[in-house]
Amino acid sequence: MVSRQHKLQRAAKIHLFQRAMITYWQQNGRHELPWRKTTSAWNILLAEVLLRKTTSAQAAAVYESLAPYSPAEIVGMDQAALAGLLQPLGIHQVRAKQLQQIAQAVIDSGGTVLESDAALRALPGVGRYISNSVRCCAFGVPAPAMDTNLIRVMNRVFGWTSHRKRPREDRKLWQCAEALVPDDMPREFNWGMLDFAAAICTQRKPKCEQCPINEICTYYAANRQVQALEMAE
Ligand code: SF4
């Protein structure tokens, strides 16, 4: 049974982690990304569709060219022409078709599809990550953006891991991620997390010595212990 003290320690660690990610966003976040300057659910969903299997730098230019268009205008575009605009991102024909299907669903629902987790996840190419991202960034819902980066950071900082072949589909891991997102400033937390994982807690050679949360990191503590043992030998 988990002791009360253990629960308190875990809650305190989560609190420190939350504040550190928000501070990271405020001080070092990629504020220039255009989809972070809007609370339009449609534009955020558009950005997420563009961001699949590509980098934010590549997606940004295409986003700027498509963001002015309404869902009705996207539906009205010639699909081949839309695919041409999406070509720099790859899988452009699939992306164009899905984008028009999504835009049509937004029109048909009068926009309500953008507010519902179930409705968003019923859209083509939209899973839990995109649904959470849209609802968090547009409406402030405290939902985690759990991608491979957050999974890595959770594993290192908290020791939380999944034995599933596809950790992103692990319900328990999603519950862990949900416990991390604060009710206040969930957008800033998620953005800070994404930027922190991309710049500091990188997959290879994490920058532990300059990391603002190394004092609470399980991975860092374990490494320090190994180093101390090696020096003592
Ligand atoms: S101390 Fe290292 S492993 Fe831990 S969160 Fe920071 S960068 Fe990641």
Distance CA 192, CA 128 (A): 19
161 and 80, same domain (yes or no): no
- Whether 135 maps to a domain, the answer reads no
Cα–ligand 1 centroid distance for 21 (angstroms): 12
Residue 233 in this model has a pLDDT that exceeds 80:
no
Residues 142 and 8: their CA atoms lie apart, in Å, by 21
Q: Determine the pLDDT at residue 125.
A: 95
The per-residue pLDDT for 104 is 98
Q: CA-to-CA distance for 196 and 118, rounded, in angstroms?
A: 29
The best mutation among 23, 149, 150, 156 to test binding of ligand 1, ranked by most ligand atoms within 8 Å of the C-beta, falls on 156
Burial 28-44 (b: 16+ CB within 10 A, else e): ebeeebebbeeeebbbb
In a domain, 136, yes or no: no
Overall number of domains in the chain: 2
**Is position 131 within any domain?**
no
Mean pLDDT, to the nearest integer, of 162-191?
Answer: 95
Task: Give yes or no: residues 167 and 91 share one domain.
Answer: no
CA 45 / ligand 1 centre spacing (Å): 30
Rounded-to-integer distance, Cα 231 and Cα 186, Å: 42
What is the pLDDT at residue 4? 85
Instruction: Give the residue, out of 155, 220, 226, with the most ligand 1 atoms within 8 A of its beta carbon, to mutate for a pocket test.
Output: 220
19 inside domain: yes
How many CA atoms lie less than 13 Å away from 164 in the CB half-sphere?
12
Domain boundary residue among 126, 159, 192?
Answer: 126
Q: Would you state the structure tokens that stand for residue 141, as one six-digit string?
A: 């819902």
Which residue's CA is minimally distant from atom 8 of ligand 1?
Answer: 201
Q: How many CB atoms lie within 10 A of CB 21?
A: 28
Q: C-alpha angle 114/119/123, rounded to 5°?
A: 90
CATH number of residue 97's parent domain: 1.10.340.30
By most ligand atoms within 8 Å of CB, the mutation choice from 149, 150, 208, 225 for ligand 1 is 208
Q: Are residues 118 and 177 in the same domain?
A: no
**Same domain assignment for residues 48 and 112:** yes
pLDDT attached to residue 228 = 83
Tokens standing for residue 99: 């984008």
> In the predicted model, what is the mean pLDDT of the chain?
95
> Could you tell me if 97 and 168 lie in one domain?
no
How confident is the model over 38-90, as pLDDT tens digits? 999 999 999 999 999 999 999 999 999 999 999 999 999 999 999 999 999 99
Rounded Cα distance between 194 and 29, Å, is 9
Rounded mean pLDDT, 182-190: 98
CA of 177 to the centre of ligand 1 (A): 17
pLDDT of residue 19: 98
Helices (H), the chain: 4-28, 41-51, 56-66, 71-76, 79-86, 92-108, 117-121, 128-139, 148-158, 171-180, 186-199, 218-232
User: 231: CA distance to ligand 1 center in Å?
Assistant: 22
Is residue 2 scored above 70 in pLDDT? no
CA 226–ligand 1 middle distance (angstroms): 15
Residues 25, 38, single domain; the answer is: no
Query: Closest by alpha carbon to 52, among 165, 113, 133?
Result: 133
Which CATH number do you get for residue 227?
1.10.1670.10
For residues 43 and 9, state if they share a domain. no
CA–centroid distance, 215 to ligand 1, in Å, is 9
Question: 115 and 46, same structural domain?
Answer: yes
Ligand 1 contacts (CB < 6 A) are 156-157, 200-201, 206-208, 211, 213-214, 217, 219-220
Q: Is residue 41 assigned to a domain?
A: yes
The pLDDT tens digits for 134-158 are: 999 999 999 999 999 999 999 999 9
Residue indicated by tokens 């179930």:
118
The answer to whether residue 47 sits within a structural domain is: yes
Same domain, 69 and 25: no
Determine the structural domain holding residue 106 and report its residue range: 34-126
Q: Is residue 82 part of a domain?
A: yes
* Percent of the chain with pLDDT strictly greater than 70: 99
Query: At CB < 8 A and 24+ separation, what contacts does 149-152 make?
Result: 149/193, 149/194, 149/197, 149/198, 149/201, 150/177, 150/193, 150/194, 150/197, 152/197, 152/201, 152/203
pLDDT for the residue numbered 1 = 58
CA gyration radius for the chain? 20
- Same domain? For 204 and 159 the reply is yes
Query: Does residue 226 share a domain with residue 150?
Result: yes
